[in-house]
Structure 1
Amino acid sequence: MSSETMRAATARRYGGPEVMAIETLPRPVAGPGQLLIRTAAFGVTRGDARIRGLDVPRGMGGLMRLIFGLTRPRRPIQGREFAGVVAALGDGVTGWTVGDAVMGITPGMRLSAGAEYCTMPADGRLTRRPDTLTPEEAAGYFFGLLTAADFLLDQAKLQPDERVLINGASGAVGIAAVWLAKHLGAQVTAVCSPANHDFARRFGADLTADYARPLPAGPFDVVLDVAGTLPYSRAKPLLADGGRLALITADLKGQLGANLRPRRGTHQLLAGVTKETPAALTRALAFHAQGYRPPITALPLTDIQQAHLHASTGHKHGNVVVTL
């Protein structure tokens, strides 16, 4: 492979994990105000799997095609979350040095992190990687914890000793939410498959429940629906007076309903896009200093299809990352 090319994980069409391929493509060049990053690892999240397969909640398919491509992916290189080192500086860049260890998220929905090199705005969603996080941990760090913190802290305004039900508690977002809710002093009930109950308890769950059986009666002050199976009609009997339902995954009807009519008697519905601001990244990384380490399943680039299959199951342990 020449110095002007790189390996990249690509999807040239929508479909199952089998559409993922490894291609040799031109290496990007850092433009003005950009950094060229040599990628050490990148995340393969449930969100990445949804984009690849257009496997989205009801009513969202048309919007996803508008964003990512009508008939095929507009940007074939997959991946948003990554860790690596600065390989080159574009014109006008200050405050960074070649060799800096970094971690971050590509801006907007442009993807492109799933390759040996990617470019990032020097003032974008990027931060230095602490020595106490491995590149694999760093590549799987932000997706779950940013979402959990946004919904639990900013939207639900979780308080110590409140009762929290986390529906879909074993994936990247769910397990981060379990840890964060317990760290904040809440009483945490984790809903996931029985095979993941010990895993959830290791991250702080006080109680566990089987997603395939009737849900615990509650009442709960906060219900966090990561799995997308608890619309308000099902969650209402579980909520205490003043309870909040956080719809991390919902169909178009549920999203619109939560935004247009967030108050339902004494209950509140919460939905929206997770903030990925520099302040949000800084806050999320501060939780590492307080003890959070994301659980990681690492696979080599040659296993990119297996990584996407694992991310698609809905029953994975924490975060899937691909190493380069």
Structure 2
Amino acid sequence: MAVEAAGLTAGDARIRGARAPGGMGPMIRLVFGLRGPRRPVLGREYAGRVVAVGAGMTQFRVGDAVFGITDGMHMGAHAEFVCVKATGLILPRPETLSVPEAAAFFFGGLTAADFLLDQCALQPGERVLVVGATGAVGSAAVQIAHHHGAHVTALASAENLDLARQLGADVAQDYRTAPPPGPFDVILDVPGVMPDALARLADCGRLGLITADLPSMLGAMLRPGRGEGRRLCANVIKETRQAMARLMALHEAAAYRPLIGSVFPLSEIALAHAQADSGHKRGNLVIEMAPKA
């Protein structure tokens, strides 16, 4: 497949630098490479066009516009061409998405939907706090929570408060000020920076930790209960065709569109990684394989 654009995520930046939340460093190095990335070409989310198909493959034809996620941890989307299984995590690309939007569609959307709808079991009318509300995951979470009838409070930088409201937040607050007291039924902490989040939960509230350290992940799996029915959610998200179809249904219902922050040509991928490393990017970062004419 010829790659037209690919998402560059915080995960790509962590793999490149062998950085991970507390306790996860050895695991990252074991899986992806001890001294550097075992696969020098990173990237998983892509948008492109089919240029060749294997024998017996009938799902796609040469020239079809597609988008999806590379298989497993093979990565390789930050390149001009990538080989993917037609039976894998790949879908026909709808005309409602631009090429950069298609390339950025799945990372934030799948993560937000899994945490909000599956792990935290969000219900209409519940009070939701999204920490880091205008990044790739946070911007998707605000949209999805709003669509499901939640009252959404967004924490973001002062310059992004209007954007958070446009995404669907009922209340938008500068993260540099004192956090809202709550209580909240669901708190989605994307960067994992709110140390007192559990104390701001209502009884039976759920805390979704997108960026969780090893103790938090083990706690979520082994001891999910926290005081008065409060629950910690920090499990690995599901990447399945069913999850992709659900996200597409949200898009078709005008409930989700990936927020595009910056688009870089492949020749400036180092600048894109620097922006991802900053921890203050807006929306999704996208790499275009060929600069616009």
- Normalising TM by the smaller chain, what interval? over 0.9
Cα distance in structure 2, aligned partners of 1:180 and 1:310: 25
Q: Paired residue for 2:119?
A: 155
Cα distance in structure 1, aligned partners of 2:97 and 2:46: 13
| C-alpha distance after superposition, 1:173-224 (max 9, x if no partner) | 0000011000111011111211211111110111122222321100000011
Cα distance in structure 2, aligned partners of 1:220 and 1:159: 12
Describe the SS at the equivalent of 2:83.
strand
Find the partner of 1:214 among 158, 178, 186: 178
Q: Paired residue for 1:259?
A: 221
Q: 1:55: Cα distance to partner?
A: 2.3
Identity of aligned residues (%): 56
Describe the SS at the equivalent of 1:175.
helix
Q: 1:72: Cα distance to partner?
A: 1.8
Matching residue's letter, 1:298: V
Q: 1:42: Cα distance to partner?
A: 0.3
Q: 1:315: Cα distance to partner?
A: 1.6
Cα distance in structure 1, aligned partners of 2:82 and 2:25: 28
Cα distance in structure 1, aligned partners of 2:193 and 2:221: 18
Q: 1:81: Cα distance to partner?
A: 0.5
- The answer to whether structure 1 residue 270 and structure 2 residue 225 are counterparts is no
8 Å contact kept, 2:220–2:232: yes
8 Å contact kept, 1:170–1:315: no
| C-alpha distance after superposition, 1:213-236 (max 9, x if no partner) | 3211000000111011135xx112
Find the partner of 2:149 among 160, 185, 199: 185
Q: Paired residue for 1:288?
A: 251
8 Å contact kept, 1:171–1:314: no
8 Å contact kept, 2:130–2:190: yes
Q: What TM-score comes out, normalization by structure 1 length? A: 0.86
Cα distance in structure 1, aligned partners of 2:137 and 2:205: 21
Q: What TM-score comes out, normalization by structure 2 length? A: 0.95
Q: 1:258: Cα distance to partner?
A: 1.6
Cα distance in structure 2, aligned partners of 1:49 and 1:190: 25
Cα distance in structure 2, aligned partners of 1:47 and 1:208: 26
| C-alpha distance after superposition, 1:152-177 (max 9, x if no partner) | 01111111110001111111000000
Cα distance in structure 1, aligned partners of 2:18 and 2:37: 10
Which range is displaced more, 196-205 or 207-216?
207-216
Q: 1:293: Cα distance to partner?
A: 1.9
How many residue pairs are counted as aligned between the two chains?
A: 286
- The answer to whether structure 1 residue 90 and structure 2 residue 65 are counterparts is no
Describe the SS at the equivalent of 1:118.
coil
8 Å contact kept, 2:258–2:284: yes
Q: Paired residue for 1:138?
A: 102
Matching residue's letter, 1:41: A
Unmatched tracts of structure 2, length 5 or more: none
Unmatched tracts of structure 1, length 5 or more: 1-36
Q: Paired residue for 2:90?
A: 126
Q: 1:92: Cα distance to partner?
A: 2.7
| C-alpha distance after superposition, 1:276-297 (max 9, x if no partner) | 1001111111111111221212
Cα distance in structure 1, aligned partners of 2:163 and 2:21: 27
Q: Paired residue for 1:225?
A: 189
CA RMSD of aligned residues (A): 1.1
8 Å contact kept, 2:18–2:36: no
Matching residue's letter, 2:216: G
- The answer to whether structure 1 residue 319 and structure 2 residue 281 are counterparts is no
Q: Paired residue for 2:201?
A: 239
Q: 1:54: Cα distance to partner?
A: 1.8
Describe the SS at the equivalent of 1:120.
coil
